[in-house]
């Protein structure tokens, strides 16, 4: 279909305002909508937070607030309007009641419970409907939602921080932060965008991290669930991730473990046994992703340590990698054992190199997977 410059411009605005929901609407996708009358945007809306209005309904409410009639307007919306009663009533009906007569859609909704029906409904009700404007851009913007609808699994981002020689830890020093404040902010933004953070138990034992979003506003978002890969259940009972009020999940393999009762009795802690084909290999990572997919987790991050990172990479389960190389130099270095070649072997390519407050950062992603947005995280 040939699109006019004006149409492209309107959909670009819709995509831009959809970004305002980033980190706030999971497991829903980012969606934006503008209402156009006489060649001008007269109202706009976006999906702002989970349980909040859908983009179309917010745009209609925006018009009402400004005293503008929605009669005869055209809606440009980045996702096919829903036609189901979910957390909100159907957007299709809202568009109808508002007297909107044309709808331009960027991307069909791949969610099986709403798929196709929205556009069908609108056509049946006499709307002029056009689809596919800036479809690829919309697909990138909601890629974790799209990926989840198709595969029922989360996308996995590996984050690694190293010293100037590629070591991830200094065995001579107590654990401390060594990345720049800008890098730390970026990591917290990334955490806010993730449903879960995965770490190996060794990292819990050595660093006792809290793995929460603290440096930036959480807004309507929720803290990511901390997931500990802990084959034989040795997470210390006084770990920070157990002591605070946020959620932690501990995944172990079959066996009799002393502290299982103490761990399971914590309100914020869930202990799950995953069968492992080979007990020496630790928790089966494919099963981990399947479990998280069942819970509608769409975006997760692997934050360490070295063994966990290597196992995820070896299994070909890394979709993106963020490698932060600092100026620090460790005296007793613990090397990571992951070089560029290993990433390339697993079909990852460098998307971009950036500077985060003096740290040199490589952003990698699977060959056909676009980076979620220009300035992400």
Give me the active site residues, please: 56
Residue 229 · residue 251 · CB < 8 Å: yes
Q: Please identify which residue in 60, 114, 186, 250 interacts with ligand AOF, judged by CB under 6 A.
A: 114
Residue from 337, 349, 288 nearest 317 by CA: 288
3-class secondary structure, 62: helix
Residue 82 near ligand AOF by CB under 6 A: yes
Q: Which does 109 bind (CB under 5 to 8 A by kind): Zn ion, ligand AOF, none?
A: ligand AOF
Question: 81 or 282: whose CB is closer to ligand AOF?
Answer: 81
Residue from 94, 86, 98 nearest 28 by CA: 86
Q: Please identify which residue in 82, 133, 156, 313 interacts with Zn ion, judged by CB under 5 A.
A: 82
Sign of the torsion angle spanned by Cα atoms 20, 139, 374, 217 = positive
Q: Which does 83 bind (CB under 5 to 8 A by kind): Zn ion, ligand AOF, none?
A: none
Minimum distance from CB of 111 to ligand AOF (Å)? Answer: 3
Question: 94 or 283: whose CB is closer to Zn ion?
Answer: 94
Q: Please identify which residue in 26, 54, 107, 153 interacts with Zn ion, judged by CB under 5 A.
A: 54
Residue 31 near ligand AOF by CB under 6 A: yes
Size of the site for ligand AOF (CB under 6 A): 17
**CA 263 to CA 224: how far, in whole Å?**
19
Residues in the chain: 377
**CA 47 to CA 101: how far, in whole Å?**
22
Region near Zn ion per CB under 5 A, out of 46-54, 173-181, 202-210, 334-342: 46-54
Residue 116 near ligand AOF by CB under 6 A: no
**CA 29 to CA 25: how far, in whole Å?**
7
Minimum distance from CB of 61 to ligand AOF (Å)? Answer: 12
Alpha-helical segments (H) within the chain: 5-18, 55-65, 91-97, 117-124, 135-141, 143-151, 181-192, 201-207, 240-243, 260-264, 285-294, 306-314, 340-345
Question: 34 or 241: whose CB is closer to ligand AOF?
Answer: 34
Minimum distance from CB of 289 to ligand AOF (Å)? Answer: 20
User: For residues 92-111, which are near ligand AOF according to CB under 6 A?
Assistant: 109, 111
Residue 192 · residue 216 · CB < 8 Å: yes
Question: 82 or 249: whose CB is closer to Zn ion?
Answer: 82
**CA 355 to CA 29: how far, in whole Å?**
29
Region near ligand AOF per CB under 6 A, out of 27-35, 254-262, 273-281, 318-326: 27-35
Cα-Cα-Cα-Cα torsion 153, 19, 9, 146, nearest 10 degrees, comes to 10
Q: Which does 29 bind (CB under 5 to 8 A by kind): ligand AOF, Zn ion, none?
A: ligand AOF
Residue 24 · residue 146 · CB < 8 Å: no
- Residue 173: strand pairing partners: none
Residue from 349, 337, 228 nearest 283 by CA: 228
Write out the residues near ligand AOF by the rule CB under 6 A. Answer: 28-29, 31, 47, 54-56, 79, 81-82, 86-88, 91, 109, 111, 114
Write out the residues near Zn ion by the rule CB under 5 A. Answer: 54, 82, 91
């Amino acid at each position: 279909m040939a699109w006019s410059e004006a149409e492209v411009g309107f959909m670009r605005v819709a995509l831009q305002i959809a970004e305002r929901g980033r980190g706030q609407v999971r497991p829903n996708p980012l969606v934006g909508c503008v209402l156009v009358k006489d060649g001008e945007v007269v109202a706009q809306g976006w999906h702002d937070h989970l349980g909040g209005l859908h983009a179309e309904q917010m745009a209609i409410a925006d018009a009402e607030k400004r005293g503008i009639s929605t009669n005869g307007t055209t809606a440009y919306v980045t996702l096919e309007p829903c036609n189901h009663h979910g957390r909100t009533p159907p957007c299709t009906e809202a568009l109808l009641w508002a007297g909107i007569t044309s709808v331009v859609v960027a991307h069909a909704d791949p969610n099986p419970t709403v798929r196709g029906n929205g556009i069908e409904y609108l056509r049946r009700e006499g709307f002029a409907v056009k689809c596919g404007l800036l479809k690829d851009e919309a697909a990138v913007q909601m890629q974790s939602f799209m990926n989840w609808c198709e595969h029922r699994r989360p996308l996995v981002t590996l984050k690694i921080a190293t010293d100037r020689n590629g070591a991830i830890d200094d065995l001579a020093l107590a654990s401390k932060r060594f990345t720049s404040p800008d890098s730390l902010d970026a990591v917290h933004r990334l955490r806010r965008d993730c449903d879960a953070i995965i770490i190996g138990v060794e990292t819990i034992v050595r660093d006792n991290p809290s793995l929460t979003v603290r440096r930036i506003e959480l807004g309507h978002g929720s803290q990511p669930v901390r997931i500990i890969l802990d084959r034989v259940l040795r997470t210390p009972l006084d770990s920070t991730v157990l002591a605070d009020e946020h959620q932690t999940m501990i995944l172990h393999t079959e066996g009799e473990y002393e502290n299982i009762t103490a761990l399971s009795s914590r309100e914020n802690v869930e202990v799950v046994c995953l069968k492992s084909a080979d007990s020496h290999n630790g928790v089966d990572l494919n099963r981990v992703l399947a479990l998280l997919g069942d819970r509608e987790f769409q975006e997760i991050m692997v934050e360490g340590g070295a063994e966990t990172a290597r196992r995820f990479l070896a299994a070909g389960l890394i979709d993106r990698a963020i490698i932060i190389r600092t100026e620090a130099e460790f005296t007793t270095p613990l090397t990571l054992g992951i070089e560029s070649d290993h990433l390339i072997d697993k079909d990852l390519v460098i998307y971009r190199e950036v500077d985060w407050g003096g740290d040199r950062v490589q952003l990698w992603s699977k060959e056909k997977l676009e980076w979620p947005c220009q300035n992400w995280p």
